[in-house]
Structure 1
């Protein structure tokens, strides 16, 4: 049922009752955004909101500070005896939420679990080498090749309890792509500052402060109630009325209204996230087109035509309300491309050239195709797809937008059940490696090429990425990275759009630490 603009969202009605009855408003953060965490299994889905919620519960060996620098987490110190060995001393007297002690066995188990086929961080976990227990509070990682961003990879593997996982038959990540459910779908057991109290998918997720947390919690949040509210208008109305305290993804068109609203404030900045288009470049016939025996996306001229047909400035000004930074580099942060204008440069908007390329490729009359698009994951995701469809229609490409909630969209494209799709990539890591290996490379085992959902094969590109992944000389590695970008861009393996900004909106009494990885840390939140 469609709700009036200012009416209370039904999912929030229960929250109002709880707050009134328990008088918890001073220490309960009511958080809303369009989507919902997909699973409580920490490796099953590598998706930002899912990772963010899970990070309140689970921890890494090395954590990130407010500036995204590395600081001790479950490891208190480390050394590198030689270029292929890292040794970590673990924090003593740490317990999981169920009271089990944290030891090196849990670290080894977690890394091996994260390397399983059903893990979406398998490429990162595999790059850590072989974990080995030295004693209960010492673990080593023995690498087969030099890893220039070892700590970035280490900061992707949440530490789980081996005993708890084995007890609940959760030794491997659940297969979310094929709709598998397990104990870890709805339950969690970490060492972090908050504990999972309630998980009702697409309704609400409740966390409670861990009374036995080993570290310091600088904020005063005792409880967090997360509620997904898909409708932009309803989500904004809930914030304005005070029914929620914090909105992770206010719509760009409402930002000025929120800035002027009494009792509300907006904090904002660029996110480490790039939005881009992927295309099936493997099949001889597209799955979702009336074309028979043809796949136009295998033709570089068609890929370039689609790129030239995009008026990125109109998307930035009219659709994103200035809340995006157009780029020609498929990488979340300009730090990864060294701010190099040759890498960042986009193909120019040129509809005439796009039509000429279509004609040269044999598609003067165009073709039709379906485009898969999430409708609750990225800023304006569905509207971006609709805008692109109207732009591509001008060169004869008739696009049917198939907008899906992310819980349906991600498994669909993970199975390569797509012809054309919109995707986003980002997080706390600014180095190019964690974009290159999962997205740019040919699909292989151990997570290599896992997110190459267009399933293209480019042996030249693959070899360049593989070389950059193990190069120890910084200057040589930088040169290799530039070659990777230039090869990828020349072949238009994907079409980059922009890096999105991340405005957060909240009640005026909510104090947060805004970071470019778009992760809200509850332990740093203060409610006044």
Structure 2
């Protein structure tokens, strides 16, 4: 679809084009409904947030708590949207309303996480106040995903009164996904604007000449979606792309032999782990002779974990470009607790299975998205072998992300591999994946393991309202240790973010793994 851009942008001085190949297609130009890395990376060329992914000020210059349930943000002055409209506190209120409103009945990226927000008030043009039901210290982490939209561009006039359902008296004026995809609503404050966005996820961007910050080096950015790993590297070597993401270990060997190309790596924020449905009522694809769900027994979960040699996986499949996991957040991340290594012991694992009443094993279907994670299918094959050696009857099922995601959402998957990034902090995974759902505290939005531990709940709920950083880390440590003891999931490794690129380019990637033109410069 061809998107419109202002005459000023269209007539800007020509500059070099940067061509980037994504491994997964962005879903839409709409930045609100989707939480995946690639849709987020595309959106953040065009839209900005109050708080940057690295916790730095962005559209807000500073913030402060004025009470246990009231936080105030001072907004950056002199910022305009790409259409020339000024950015004000009113746009923040409007954006929060749009985030909370379920357009076509669908929740947005942080609709649940921002549920504790009871009011958003434009104090003046450059000051906005958020009120919450209870102390909600991680609100700044959640606001990293609130892309700011223009109220003027949506035709909204006058003051906007916030409500928690997001209706705000203006719901009839909200843009739908199609309005972003065709360009009508794709107006942000970021360094680029859309020239085109296709249903395939391919996009062309041009520099936003109205941008308030440092002008980006690249006048034009072309993003193409190339799910096949070999095709991405072939395209790089052929000169079709300047940067490709997620090269495999074999790709890096090819790159090392060509002086025209190199690669950049950074320890990432994503934990790759296995989700286990612990429900007594059964787990999809898991069958035992006695009709029980073996995964409901912690000894079985411990056995599955102990069978896996994480260090072998990171060494052999990633050539060291991944870190073996010992908890559900990168061990090197700020706030992550000190934890021992997870044990690998096949004999002890077999003994645990026997103690749990499954000396002859059981059958399970292991679900892995085929086109989502670096070396995902190879990791799935390795784990299948580890579990088969325990005497389990394991069927490895790989399928496209779109199919996998639908089956996961519908609760069909009893055992599946998943990845969860942590730009919202070290507790992000366990607070979303293992907590009981509590919309007022923003907990448990994706508890596919059906895990329910009173000790874990006590710690994670205390963490959710603790404003003192030291105490918050203590509660996080308690919750993390309980989750690792109970293993409603199995931590595998922390991805390192990798990009292969031309040697004449300088690339400084972020741990969150987004591939963005702003991180690339000419040497």
Identify the TM-score tier after normalising by the shorter chain. 0.7 to 0.9
Answering whether residue 203 of structure 2 is matched by residue 205 of structure 1, we say yes
State the Cα distance separating 1:522 from its structure 2 match. 2.1
Paired residue secondary structure (1:63): coil
Distance in 2 of aligned mates of 1:466 and 1:307 = 27
Q: 2:502 maps to what in 1?
A: 507
Question: Is this contact kept in 2: 1:97–1:191, CA < 8 A?
Answer: yes
Q: 2:313 maps to what in 1?
A: 315
Change (3 A) 1:470 1:184: same
Q: 2:166 maps to what in 1?
A: none
Question: Is this contact kept in 1: 2:109–2:145, CA < 8 A?
Answer: no
Paired residue secondary structure (1:330): coil
State the Cα distance separating 1:164 from its structure 2 match. 4.5
Distance in 1 of aligned mates of 2:361 and 2:174 = 46
Determine which of 99, 114, 125 is the counterpart of 2:114.
125
Determine which of 270, 273, 281 is the counterpart of 1:273.
270
Map 1:341-356; keep pairs closer than 5 Å: 343-346=339-342, 348-356=343-351
Listed one character per residue, the Cα deviations across residues 345-391 of structure 1 (whole Å, up to 9, x for unaligned) are 21x11111211222222222222222221222222112111111111
Q: 1:195 maps to what in 2?
A: 193
State the Cα distance separating 1:336 from its structure 2 match. 4.4
Listed one character per residue, the Cα deviations across residues 431-461 of structure 1 (whole Å, up to 9, x for unaligned) are 3233332123113446521122212222321
Distance in 2 of aligned mates of 1:334 and 1:524 = 22
Q: 2:67 maps to what in 1?
A: 82
Q: 1:21 maps to what in 2?
A: none
Map 1:73-222; keep pairs closer than 5 Å: 73-116=58-101, 118-126=107-115, 130-162=119-151, 164=153, 182-184=178-180, 187=183, 188-202=186-200, 204-217=202-215, 219-222=216-219
State the Cα distance separating 1:182 from its structure 2 match. 4.1
Listed one character per residue, the Cα deviations across residues 88-111 of structure 1 (whole Å, up to 9, x for unaligned) are 233345333344443322211222
Give RMSD over aligned pairs: 2.7
Question: Is this contact kept in 2: 1:59–1:158, CA < 8 A?
Answer: yes
Paired residue secondary structure (2:451): coil
Q: 1:16 maps to what in 2?
A: none
Change (3 A) 1:172 1:358: farther
Q: 2:167 maps to what in 1?
A: none
Question: Is this contact kept in 1: 2:113–2:443, CA < 8 A?
Answer: no
Distance in 2 of aligned mates of 1:324 and 1:369 = 27
Change (3 A) 1:479 1:80: closer
Distance in 1 of aligned mates of 2:376 and 2:60 = 38
Distance in 2 of aligned mates of 1:284 and 1:311 = 30
Q: 1:523 maps to what in 2?
A: 518
Distance in 2 of aligned mates of 1:410 and 1:173 = 25
Change (3 A) 1:165 1:454: farther
**Comparing 78-87 and 276-285, the one that deviates more:** 78-87
Change (3 A) 1:392 1:524: closer
Listed one character per residue, the Cα deviations across residues 389-423 of structure 1 (whole Å, up to 9, x for unaligned) are 11111112222222223233233323323111111
Q: 1:303 maps to what in 2?
A: 301
Distance in 2 of aligned mates of 1:237 and 1:107 = 43
Distance in 1 of aligned mates of 2:469 and 2:21 = 42
